[in-house]
Amino acid sequence: MPDPTLDTTAPAKIILFGEHAVVYGEPAIAVPVASLQASAAIQPSEDGFKIIAHDLDAAIVRYDPQLIKEPLQRTLTLLQQHTGQSLPDVEIHLRSTIPMASGLGSGAAISTALARAVSAAMESPLSNETLNGIIFEVEKIHHGTPSGIDNTVIVYEQPIYYVRNQPIERLKIEQHFKLIIGDTGKKALTHVAVGDVRKLMEAQPEQTQQRISAIGEIATAARVAIEHGHIADLGQLMHENHRLLKELTVSSSDLNRFVEAALEAGAIGAKMSGGGRGGNMIALVDERHSQAVMQALRDAGAVNLIETIVC
């Protein structure tokens, strides 16, 4: 039995550049958001394996392998397949401070914390590589055709430059920078937005491919700027990336209003982040304008604001 005082955790994530285009093989950049976490605590159980989901009114979840479309169940099934062990007699207390269905990776983080806890209780801790493969399979329930960026940044807990089916590249942050994450409060399903981009690709292949490729070039340029500490260069790149995402129809009136409000209040750059149509946007700020940008986003209707330092 592992030390019950030690919770396993996994952070939220945010995509800085390249969402949607990453599904088509273009590069993207994502970072963990350590101030938001999913966690799992293990305790002995007298009546077999169970999960207590504290954010779902302490609902008790028992293992049922028939529920193949349910992410926690799928995580448990894959875990048993990988370890060759059955579930131990423990209760797992799951908690999360990550808002759900808002592009911050709450589902992947909860599954990651759960898999870490159960594999520790089995005394078969998983490598990040194996865990990443499991969480990628679970992500398919939510997203259909995920690129793999969300599970990768969450499992490895480090800034990444990500290209689908390529080895993971850690992004070097030459100079730290501050982001404000503004939540529209509108839940949005990533697979719907991803599906609509696919329809656009079928209906207008040339124009859509050009936009996807242009987003890939922006992500590449952003990597160079971040690795050289040229933070001011990111503003224009965020602006361009947001414009292209708008053209791919995945932004929303709330997201556009938040982006404009942040820029008017002095943000260096701003764009939507993640699947879009709701969820979150990000504003890059310096200390001098941070409070004004927060206030402008509040006035524009943001239901939640998170400050995070990328380092």
**Judged by CB, which is closer to ligand MEV: 22, or 126?**
22
Q: Which residues are 212's β-sheet partners?
A: none
The tokens 């008017």 sit on which residue? Answer: 264
Contacts with ligand MEV, residue ranges (CB under 6 A): 15, 19-20, 22-23, 103, 143, 146-147, 149-150, 190, 194, 274-275
Residue 141: CB atoms within 10 A of its CB come to 18
Nearest distance from C-beta of residue 257 to ligand MEV, angstroms: 21
Q: Smallest distance from the beta carbon of 259 to ligand MEV, in angstroms?
A: 17
Smallest gap from residue 216 Cβ to ligand MEV (A): 12
Q: How far is the CB of 63 from ligand MEV (least distance, A)?
A: 27
Minimum CB distance to ligand MEV, residue 275 (Å): 4
Q: Give residue 92's identity as a one-letter amino acid code.
A: I
Pick between residue 49 and residue 162 the one whose CB is nearest to ligand MEV: 162
Name the closest residue to ligand MEV (Cβ): 147
Rounded CA separation 24/127 (Å): 27
Radius of gyration, alpha carbons of the chain: 20
Say how many C-beta atoms besides its own lie within 10 A of residue 264's C-beta. Answer: 13
- For the bound state, the minimum distance from the C-beta of residue 99 to ligand MEV, rounded and expressed in Å, comes to 14
Residue 197 exposure: Cα atoms within 13 Å on the Cβ side: 26
| Distance (Å, whole) CA 15 – CA 157 | 13
Q: Which is nearer to ligand MEV, 125 or 195 (CB)?
A: 195
Give the integer Cα–Cα distance in Å for 7 and 97: 14
By C-beta, is 8 or 106 nearer to ligand MEV? 106
Using CA atoms, how far residue 38 sits from 9, 86, 106, 252, 300, in Å, is: 6, 24, 7, 28, 29
Closer Cβ to ligand MEV, 88 or 105, answer by number = 105
Nearer of residues 146 and 278 to ligand MEV, judged by Cβ: 146
Q: Is the dihedral of CA 220, 223, 225, 227 positive or negative?
A: negative
